[in-house]
Amino acid sequence: MGWYESGKRKTKALPSKALAEHFRKIKYTQLNSDVFTGTISVDWNKIRDEYVHSKKVTGCVEDSIYEVDLTLRHFERIVGKCNSKQITQSAIDKYVLERGKEVIRSTLNKDIRNLRAFINWCRENKYVNGEIKIKELKEDERPVKSLDNTQIKKLLSTAKRHKTLRMRILLALGTGLRLRDIEPWRISDIDFENSCVTTRSKKTRKSMGTRPVPVPIMAELKKYISGLNAKQENIFNDNFSRYRWTKIRQKLGLEDYTFHDLRKTFGSVLAQRGVSTAVIQKLLEYSSPDLTNKVYTNVDPVLRHAVDQIPAGDWL
């Protein structure tokens, strides 16, 4: 291997190519003072503000930015306002240990994901040096809460006297959308001829020009809209009544279920009927099939059906 110093060629023999390459990088850094390989010492407030601003620039939604900022505030509370050179492995470990005493593991993992993205950004901007390792903790699998057909029928029947609430429930069960994505629906967004609707997710900012809606639910929606004021643009002109929703759940013994569990019911019903994870993932607008399977699909009935196929009766 050779290099030049003061116009003269220098050489050095090394036992391996890897060592030679490492030595070459060292000499390159020494001989080229314009190459910056160190880290910058920046105070905590400046780092946090810059990172949050970078998230806004990349188009992150407000909810995601809020979660990131909340994680950094917890880090500041537990570890302190450290400058960039004080963000070390020990500081990260302290945060994970102390924060783990305050929250459940799934919440801690969300903080860890936010913190890992922050550390990677710091490394790219030369604010942090060295290998800082931060991994998510293993979580116990929790059963996915979803309603069965009998529970769905009772829910719709009990909500029948509250027309707008019943329609919200039907749309959540038939589309898998979040409540906040159903609320702003306009009548002009609906295509009755093709049984679809144009939607846009407030959380992910993803839009679906022709989201399919089950024909029976579309028929119910058409009947519902026919009874609205002709000048009304939005499907709903009232606010979602959490009081009524809670009363209905209590009456049916579904206190542990939330409106968001209707979204999980949508995914579970499709999975139980053999719809592929890729299709369910598309309808739920998720980027990860693992999240779709783990959080939003209850396949217990399918597992029971699979086990029942074993000819155990023939063996006994």
The confidence score (pLDDT) of residue 148 equals 87
Judgement on whether residues 116 and 21 belong to the same structural domain of the protein: no
Phi and psi angles of residue 98, each rounded to the nearest 5 degrees, phi first: -70, -40
Judgement on whether residues 153 and 13 belong to the same structural domain of the protein: no
The confidence score (pLDDT) of residue 294 equals 62
Give domain status of residue 138, yes or no: no
Give domain status of residue 310, yes or no: no
Give domain status of residue 93, yes or no: yes
Give domain status of residue 49, yes or no: yes
Structurally, the chain folds into a number of domains equal to: 3
Q: Give percent of the chain with pLDDT exceeding 90.
A: 27
Give domain status of residue 212, yes or no: yes
Judgement on whether residues 219 and 256 belong to the same structural domain of the protein: yes
Q: What is the CATH number of the domain that holds 97?
A: 1.10.150
Judgement on whether residues 74 and 210 belong to the same structural domain of the protein: no
Return contacts of 294-298, CB within 8 angstroms, 24+ apart: 294/141, 295/144, 295/264, 296/144, 296/263, 296/264, 296/267, 296/268, 297/144, 297/264, 297/267, 297/268, 297/270, 297/271, 298/143, 298/144, 298/145, 298/146, 298/264, 298/268, 298/271, 298/272
The answer to whether residues 145 and 261 touch, using CB atoms and an 8 Å cutoff, is yes
Judgement on whether residues 21 and 106 belong to the same structural domain of the protein: no
pLDDT tens digits, residue range 4-19? 556 666 555 666 667 6
Q: Which domain holds residue 15?
A: 2-31
Give domain status of residue 36, yes or no: no
C-beta atoms surrounding 58 within 10 Å? 7
Give the pLDDT band of residue 309 (cuts 50, 70, 90).
low
> What is the pTM (predicted TM-score) of this model?
0.63
Judgement on whether residues 6 and 66 belong to the same structural domain of the protein: no
Q: Which of 89, 107, 124 is the last residue of a domain?
A: 124
pLDDT tens digits, residue range 252-304? 999 888 999 998 888 888 888 888 888 888 888 877 766 656 655 665 666 56
Judgement on whether residues 48 and 25 belong to the same structural domain of the protein: no
Q: Which of 89, 109, 124 is the last residue of a domain?
A: 124
Judgement on whether residues 93 and 224 belong to the same structural domain of the protein: no
Q: Which of 91, 124, 157 is the last residue of a domain?
A: 124
Judgement on whether residues 27 and 63 belong to the same structural domain of the protein: no
Judgement on whether residues 25 and 49 belong to the same structural domain of the protein: no
Judgement on whether residues 163 and 272 belong to the same structural domain of the protein: yes
The confidence score (pLDDT) of residue 278 equals 83
Judgement on whether residues 48 and 20 belong to the same structural domain of the protein: no
Give the pLDDT band of residue 118 (cuts 50, 70, 90).
very high
Give domain status of residue 295, yes or no: yes
pLDDT tens digits, residue range 25-54? 766 665 554 545 566 788 899 999 999 989
The confidence score (pLDDT) of residue 79 equals 92
Q: What is the CATH number of the domain that holds 188?
A: 1.10.443.10
Give domain status of residue 77, yes or no: yes
